[in-house]
Amino acid sequence: MGVTEQGLLERDKDTMTLNMGPQHPSTHGVFRVILEMDGEIVRSAEPDIGFLHTGIEKNAENKRYVHCIPMTDRLDYLSPPQNNLAFCLTTEKLLGVKELPARADYLRVMMCELGRIGSHLVWLGTHALDIGAMTVFLYTWREREMILDLNEMISGVRMMTSYIRIGGVAQDATPEWLDGVRKFVDYFPAKVDEYESLLTNNPIWLDRTRGIGTLTKDEAILWSMSGPILRAAGLDWDWRKKKPYSRYDEFKFDVPTQDHGDIYDRYLVRVEEMRQSREIVKQALDHLPDGPYKIEDNKISLPPRDTLHTSMEALIHHFKLVSDGVKVPKGEAYVPTEGPRGEVGFHIVSDGSNTPYRVKMRAPSFMGIPGMCQIMEGAFISDVVAIIGSVDIVMGEVDR
């Protein structure tokens, strides 16, 4: 490299390379993006992922279906019930299960929607923290603790519940849990109003999020974005309405959309989704049907424990299911579900044995990262953090 007349080193390009490395407080996980900066403007953003690659897909090929469920918890670790549900729905499709008991479906819906609220609370807290509003971080996690208490009450684990199993749910809902959900449902709407009072009309928030990071509807479709990003751009696409699974068509809820597709619109969409999710939980709670909480077919789900003392078939089924696992017929299937980040699904190829042959997760954040880096081009460096927060990536599902 030579030296110019002014005594500066000659550079072979006009841009500065800035490494927003895997260890960074605002990248929402171990995400690395290499920014080419022209002053303060980002000219290009190249993502570098794989810092959390866990080999879950290869590991799942050696495990029985029920053992894969705790692994799916750790993929999108902010809303574990959603991953469990997508995996179980696909397995049930391969098994040829047409319908589950109503109580099982309602309990699944309640857990998924509580998981969605929990995920959006984390998103709101960390997104606001990145932009500078630390109070919101402390408030939203306070409500999230209530949801984690409910998780612990029903499954024993705070985060990775593995509660949704093939054929239904792991165990029945106790009256204490239902009371707890009722208390949460009554307490929560005032809190959402509190968060909105802090941010929605806040001039600093508006300046940092309105008109920034815009992604139009056509661009969002071209870059395979899904979930709140598509809805903020104006497209009314929600798998719970398009191809309802798990009796979602029995619930009345709105799918919020906005027009501009900027960061502010994504914020409004997700806050409204929190309200709608709470609405769904309330309806499920009010109309929770009685009955079995898992399918009666004992080749798929465990028989009730009290029948083990009297029925020989139940004992044999229990033994086979626990030692061998459920045998899934040969085939392949994919079921799209609506997660907090977008379309979550598992493509499972089965070879007829009790372990899956190939499990591939369709992760919304994975498909969303190239589009996100596309939005960053032409933005200021300070907007990069806001954009990453608004797309709401979770590296667990990106790297799998």
Partner 1 sequence: MGLMDEAVDSIETEINNLKLNAKDALDQLGAEFSGAVYDSILTTKLGKVVGWAQKNALWPATFGLACCAIEMMAMANSRWDAARFGAEVFRASPRQADLMIVSGRVSQKMAPVLRRIYNQMAEPKWVIAMGACSSCGGIFNNYAIVQGVDRVVPVDVYVPGCPPGPEALLFGVIKLQEKILKEAGSEKARQRVA
Partner 2 sequence: MTNEEIREQIDAIFESAIKHSAVTEHGDLVVHVAVEQFLMLMAYLKQNRDYDFDYLSQITGVDYLEMDPDREFRFDVVYELYSMSKDHHIQIHVGLPEEEPTLPSVYHLWRGADFPERELYDMFGIIVMDHPNMKRLLMPEDWEGHPLLKDYPLTVEEVAFSHNPDHKSELIKTPEDMKVDPWA
Q: Which positions touch partner 2 (CB under 8 A)?
A: 49-50, 53, 55, 57-59, 62, 64, 93, 221-226, 235, 237, 242, 332-334, 336, 343, 345, 347, 349, 351, 354-355, 357-358, 360, 362, 366-367, 369-371, 374, 399-400
Token pair for 296: 């009666």
Residue closer to partner 1 (CB basis): 80 or 303: 80
Which one of partner 2, partner 1, none interacts with residue 196, CB within 5 to 8 A by kind?
Answer: none
Residue closer to partner 2 (CB basis): 171 or 354: 354
Residue closer to partner 2 (CB basis): 100 or 147: 100
Lookup result for tokens 């040829």: 96
CA 382 to CA 386: how far, in whole Å? 7
263-286 vs 102-131: helix crossing angle, rounded to 10? 150
Q: How far is the CB of 393 from partner 2 (least distance, A)?
A: 12
Does 71 sit near partner 1 (CB under 8 A)? yes
Q: Which stretch binds partner 1 (CB under 8 A): 48-56, 188-196, 329-337, 374-382?
A: 48-56
Q: How far is the CB of 279 from partner 2 (least distance, A)?
A: 25
Which one of partner 1, partner 2, none interacts with residue 279, CB within 5 to 8 A by kind?
Answer: none
Give the neighbor-by-neighbor strand order of the sheet with 356-362.
Answer: 331-338, 343-350, 356-362
Which one of partner 1, partner 2, none interacts with residue 320, CB within 5 to 8 A by kind?
Answer: none
Q: How far is the CB of 50 from partner 2 (least distance, A)?
A: 4
Residue closer to partner 2 (CB basis): 48 or 186: 48
| Count of residues interacting with partner 1 (CB under 8 A) | 37
Phi, psi of 320 (to 5 degrees): -65, -40
CB under 8 Å to 387, separation ≥6 — which residues? Answer: 212, 213, 263, 372, 375, 376, 379
Among 36, 47, 137, 288, which residue interacts with partner 1 (rule: CB under 8 A)? 137
Q: Which stretch binds partner 1 (CB under 8 A): 44-52, 220-228, 352-360, 368-376?
A: 44-52
Helix (H, G, I), strand (E, B) or coil at 157: coil
Q: How far is the CB of 33 from partner 2 (least distance, A)?
A: 14
CB under 8 Å to 13, separation ≥6 — which residues? Answer: none
Q: Which stretch binds partner 1 (CB under 8 A): 74-82, 207-215, 223-231, 356-364?
A: 74-82
Q: Which of residues 103-132 bind partner 1 (CB under 8 A)?
A: 122, 126
CA distances 271 to 50, 189, 306, 318, 388, Å, are 30, 11, 45, 44, 17
Helix (H), strand (E) counts: the chain:
15, 8
CA distances 384 to 33, 39, 160, Å, are 10, 14, 31
Q: How far is the CB of 76 from partner 1 (least distance, A)?
A: 10
Q: How far is the CB of 356 from partner 2 (least distance, A)?
A: 11
CB under 8 Å to 251, separation ≥6 — which residues? Answer: 109, 280, 283, 284
Q: Where are the alpha helices (DSSP H) in the chain?
A: 56-60, 65-73, 80-95, 102-131, 134-155, 175-199, 203-209, 217-222, 228-233, 239-242, 263-286, 312-323, 364-376, 381-391, 395-399
Lookup result for tokens 């593995």: 162
CB under 8 Å to 96, separation ≥6 — which residues? Answer: 329
CB under 8 Å to 116, separation ≥6 — which residues? Answer: 79, 82, 273, 274, 277, 339, 340
Residue closer to partner 1 (CB basis): 75 or 233: 75
Residues 166 and 111 sit within 8 Å (Cβ to Cβ): no
Which one of partner 1, partner 2, none interacts with residue 347, CB within 5 to 8 A by kind?
Answer: partner 2
Does 135 sit near partner 1 (CB under 8 A)? no
Does 395 sit near partner 1 (CB under 8 A)? yes
Among 92, 105, 392, 399, which residue interacts with partner 1 (rule: CB under 8 A)? 399
Does 33 sit near partner 1 (CB under 8 A)? no
Q: How far is the CB of 136 from partner 1 (least distance, A)?
A: 12
Does 183 sit near partner 1 (CB under 8 A)? no
CB under 8 Å to 265, separation ≥6 — which residues? Answer: 232, 233, 258, 259
Which residues are near partner 1 by CB under 8 A?
Answer: 21-25, 29-30, 50-56, 58-59, 70-71, 74, 77-78, 122, 126, 137-139, 141-142, 144-145, 148, 158-160, 395-396, 399
